[in-house]
C-alpha cells in the first residue's frame, strides 16, 4: 500500500465522485507568528457537494454498486452533511436514497440542506428521536444498502485512510511542508479514524480531534473504526504496525453540542474571515477555536499545523443543482417547489 489512495481505489469498489487532491494553502496572519498554519480545502472536494463526506461516500456507494444495489438507506440530524452528500451524489449516480432525520437545532443552513435533500429526490423521514433509527436499521430491506451515520463504517473510513495518504503524498511532492499537527472536527469519527490509520506512516504527526457532538465517546469509537479498517486491510498491508500519531480528543469546544454555535466558535469564524478564510460556527469554527486557544497557550510554538476545512462550500441553491450534474428530472421537481 505504498501509494495509499491509488492502491485502495484499485482494491476496493469505489465511485469517483470528488475532485482530489484537495488544495493546500498557507494562511498568514490568523494564528500567532510562532505557528505556521496550513489549510487543506476539503470544502472544494466537489462542485455538487464537497466537504469531508465525499471521500467516504466514494467507497460506500462503490460497495453498494458492486453488490448490485441501487437503493441506499441512511440517517443523520436534520442538517446532516452526510445525508445531503448521499442524497446529491447518490441521485447523480442513479441511486434511490432514503434517509431518517432526527431533530437538531434549525438554522438557515440546516433548512437549505433539507431543501436540497428533498430536491435531489431523497425520501426523507423526519422523526422525533434518534432512537427511531434502531428499527429503521433493523427493517432495512435486502435490496437496500445501509450506510452508517456520518458515513463512518470501516468501509466509509477507507475514504479518509486515502485522505491521509493524500496528505502524505502532498508532503512528498513538497506541495505541503512536513506537518507536525493536524486539526480536524470529530463527529461520527470516520475522518479522524482514517487519518489516524494512515498518518502513522509518516514522521510523528499529532492529531487533534475537536469534538463537535454531544457523545464523549470519540476515542473509543475512533479506535473501533481503526480496528475495522485494519481488518479490511489485513490482506494487503505489509506496513509494520509503527507508532500511531498521538491522538488528542479535545472535548472543551463542543459548547451546547451538535448543531449549536458557541461564542468561541463565532469569534474564531470572525477572526478567520478577517484573514480571508470563511468557516462555519458549528464544525470548522469550533476546530479553529481550539487551534487558536492552543496557539495562544503556547502549545503550538514553532509547529506547522494543518487545519482541515471540512464543510462544503458548493452552492446549496436547489435551482443550480441541475447545472452541477444532477439529472434534469431533479431540477424540474426542484424548480416546481421553490420555498
Binding site for ligand PLP (CB under 6 A): 51-52, 81, 150, 152, 185-192, 283, 310-311
Best CA proximity match to 304, nearest among 21, 5, 10, 34 = 34
**CB 36 → ligand PLP: shortest distance, Å?**
23
Gyration radius of the chain over CA positions: 19
Smallest gap, in angstroms, from Cβ of residue 222 to ligand PLP? 9
Neighbour count for residue 280 (Cβ, 10 Å): 18
We find the least distance from the C-beta atom of residue 296 to ligand PLP, in angstroms, to be 23
- Kindly report the number of other CB atoms within 10 A of residue 212's CB atom: 25
Nearer to ligand PLP, 93 or 310 (CB): 310
Please state the closest distance from residue 33 (CB atom) to ligand PLP, in A. Answer: 28
* Grid cell digits, residue 4: 495509499
Nearest-approach distance from CB 190 to ligand PLP, in angstroms: 4
- Comparing CB distances to ligand PLP, the nearer of 31 and 288 is 288
**Sheet of strand 24-26: strand arrangement:** 24-26, 35-40, 303-308, 181-186, 206-211, 247-250
Query: What gap in Å lies between CA 195 and CA 251, rounded to an integer?
Result: 19
Neighbours of 47 (CB within 10 A): 16
Whole-angstrom distance, CA of residue 120 vs CA of residue 107: 20
CB nearer ligand PLP, residue 156 or residue 331: 156
304/144 Cα distance (integer angstroms): 44
Considering beta carbons, is residue 229 or 331 the nearer one to ligand PLP? 229
Give 221 or 320: the residue with its C-beta nearer to ligand PLP: 221
The smaller minimum CB distance to ligand PLP, of residues 222 and 331, is found at 222
C-alpha cell read off for 329: 428530472
- Per the CB < 8 A criterion, the answer to whether 86 and 55 are in contact is no
* Shortest spacing between CB 141 and ligand PLP, in angstroms: 26
Amino acid at each position: 500500500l505504498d501509494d495509499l489512495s491509488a492502491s485502495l481505489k484499485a482494491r476496493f469498489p469505489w465511485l469517483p465522485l470528488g475532485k482530489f487532491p484537495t488544495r493546500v494553502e498557507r494562511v498568514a496572519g490568523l494564528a500567532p507568528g510562532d505557528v505556521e498554519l496550513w489549510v487543506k480545502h476539503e470544502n472544494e472536494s466537489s462542485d455538487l457537494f464537497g466537504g469531508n463526506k465525499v471521500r467516504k461516500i466514494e467507497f460506500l456507494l462503490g460497495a453498494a454498486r458492486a453488490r448490485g444495489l441501487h437503493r441506499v438507506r441512511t440517517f443523520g440530524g436534520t442538517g446532516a452533511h452526510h445525508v445531503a452528500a448521499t442524497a446529491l451524489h447518490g441521485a447523480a449516480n442513479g441511486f434511490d436514497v432514503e434517509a431518517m432525520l432526527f431533530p437538531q437545532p434549525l438554522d438557515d443552513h440546516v433548512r437549505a440542506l433539507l431543501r436540497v435533500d428533498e430536491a435531489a429526490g431523497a425520501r426523507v423521514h423526519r422523526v422525533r428521536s434518534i432512537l427511531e433509527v434502531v428499527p429503521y436499521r433493523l427493517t432495512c430491506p435486502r435490496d437496500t444498502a445501509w450506510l452508517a451515520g456520518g458515513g463512518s463504517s470501516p468501509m466509509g473510513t477507507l475514504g479518509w485512510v486515502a485522505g491521509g495518504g493524500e496528505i502524505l503524498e502532498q508532503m512528498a511532492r513538497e506541495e505541503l511542508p512536513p506537518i507536525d499537527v493536524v486539526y480536524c472536527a470529530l463527529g461520527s469519527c470516520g475522518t479522524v479514524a482514517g487519518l489516524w490509520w494512515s498518518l502513522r506512516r509518516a514522521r510523528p504527526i499529532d492529531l487533534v480531534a475537536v469534538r463537535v457532538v454531544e457523545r464523549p465517546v470519540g476515542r473509543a469509537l475512533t479506535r473501533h473504526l481503526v480496528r475495522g479498517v485494519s481488518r479490511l486491510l489485513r490482506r494487503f498491508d505489509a506496513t509494520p504496525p509503527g507508532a500511531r500519531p498521538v491522538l488528542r480528543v479535545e472535548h472543551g469546544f463542543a459548547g451546547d453540542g451538535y448543531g449549536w454555535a458557541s461564542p468561541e466558535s463565532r469569534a474564531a469564524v470572525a477572526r478567520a474571515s478577517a484573514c480571508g478564510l470563511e468557516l462555519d460556527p458549528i464544525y470548522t469554527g469550533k476546530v479553529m477555536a481550539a487551534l487558536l486557544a492552543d496557539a495562544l497557550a503556547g502549545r503550538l510554538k514553532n509547529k506547522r499545523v494543518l487545519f482541515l476545512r471540512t464543510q462544503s462550500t458548493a452552492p446549496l441553491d436547489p435551482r443550480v443543482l441541475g447545472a452541477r450534474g444532477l439529472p434534469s428530472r431533479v431540477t424540474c421537481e426542484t424548480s416546481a417547489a421553490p420555498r
